[in-house]
Amino acid sequence: MVIPQTMRVAVMHGIRDVRLENWNVPTPGAKDVLVKIQRVGVCGSDVHYFTDGHIGRYVVEKPLVLGHESAGVVAAVGIEVSSLKVGDRVSLEPGYPCRSCYHCKRGRYNLCPDITFMATPPVDGAFAEYVAWPSDFAFKIPDAMSLDAAALLEPLAVGVWAVQRAQIGMGASVAVFGAGPIGCTTLQAAKAAGATTIIAIDLEPFRLDLAKQLGATHTINGRDPNVLEQIRNITSPLTGLPGSSAGVDAAFETAGSLHTCRMTIEATRSGGVAILVGLPPDPLVSLDIVAAASREVDIRGQFRYANCYPAALELVAQNRVNLDAMITHRFGLEQAHQALEFADKEKKTSMKVMVEFD
Ligand SMILES: [Zn+2]
Ligand SMILES: [Zn+2]
């Protein structure tokens, strides 16, 4: 493979300001692979940096390359790399940790304080024609897998980790608040894990329809004033027993609002698990923790994922989840700016916006 000297990169210079530039192609280190990027999914976090310039304490202070859901073809390998070769199609896990701290040693490397994560200031992401990345965070995909699906292993990894955090069992009932890309990967992961009652809640009928195609057994429009009552009506006949068995075994918050955080906790049955995958915009919020505690609802947080790419890859390879169906719109790399604008404004009609490289 002939590797050019320079490459095109979409660079964020400020709020709603992404420009195409020519940069030098990076040189892979001894343990890195150089990947010719082919697909990058637009994530909610990319859109957030694009429109607000920050997410919490992460502030875009100098030019930043967005994009962290990527897949491509290995163009070169470092001298110590034996696991991959030129021409292999790979999905890149966008965060690599220090590998030696307490959390890394325990396998919870998503909690590593020194993690390097794409498109999180100051680390550049994948809206670039070439990326050099540690080979142990590049996963070879089978021939039958699309590069689209390979890029979307990232949001699927989030769903896989959410379901692992919830420890649901066969025949579980779950509610997923928010049927965007993360909601849809979470509900598919829950289905693959054995959940049989899967309730998706969203404001957009378009997204609820897609959630249903992907495995939701029930959908509820969030504008309905009786969302919780509907969830109880769906779940209370499941046990057939009297008492307050109503509510789901696990509820997932993926919409990122205080309202849905509250609903997630309330929709969980006594003794169930509420997973906060998304986060409300303000950190200090009022929640009825007395009600949650007295019902023994376990509230669990989530930060990205750890060791989920192998499972996500197998779920796709075995057609137990469908990531391709989530892609609704496509843009070229030179249209990265428009792709971000579109993903920001067209939530009613879009699910996953994909940036495709030629
Ligand atoms: Zn993402
Ligand atoms: Zn570490």
pLDDT digits (tens, 9 = 90+) for 119-140: 999 999 999 999 999 999 999 9
Instruction: Measure the CA–CA gap between 44 and 15, rounded to whole angstroms.
Output: 15
Helix, strand or coil, per DSSP, at residue 331 = strand
Confidence bin at 244 (pLDDT 50/70/90): low
Render pLDDT for 10-53 as a digit per residue (tens, 0 to 9).
Answer: 999 999 999 999 999 999 999 999 999 999 999 999 999 999 99
Ligand having the closest approach to the CA of 306: 2
pTM: 0.97
Q: Are 310 and 323 in contact (CB under 8 A)?
A: no
Domain spans in the chain, listed from the N-terminal domain onward: 6-152+323-356, 156-301
Q: Which two tokens stand for residue 80?
A: 């110590």
Q: Which ligand is nearest to the CA of 111?
A: 2
Lowest mean pLDDT segment, chosen from 139-143, 201-205, 235-239: 235-239
Cα radius of gyration rounded to whole Å, the chain = 20
Report residue 120 as tokens: 């999180």
What pLDDT is recorded for position 240?
74
Rounded to the nearest integer, the mean pLDDT of the chain is 96
How far is the centre of ligand 1, averaged over its atoms, from the C-alpha of 118 (Å)? 10
Q: Please name the amino acid found at residue 104.
A: C
Q: Which ligand is nearest to the CA of 120?
A: 1
187 C-alpha to center of ligand 2: Å?
A: 30
Output the CA 277–ligand 2 centroid distance in Å. Answer: 22
Q: Has residue 59 got a pLDDT over 80?
A: yes
Q: Is CATH 3.40.50.720 the classification given to domain 156-301?
A: yes
Report which bound ligand comes closest to the CA of 304.
1
Share of the chain above pLDDT 70, in %: 99
Whole-angstrom distance between the N-terminal and C-terminal Cα of the chain?
15
CATH fold label, 6-152+323-356? Quinone Oxidoreductase; Chain A, domain 1 (3.90.180)
Residues 197-232 as b/e (b if ≥16 CB within 10 A, e otherwise) read bbbbbbebebbbebbbebbbbbbbebeeeebbebbb
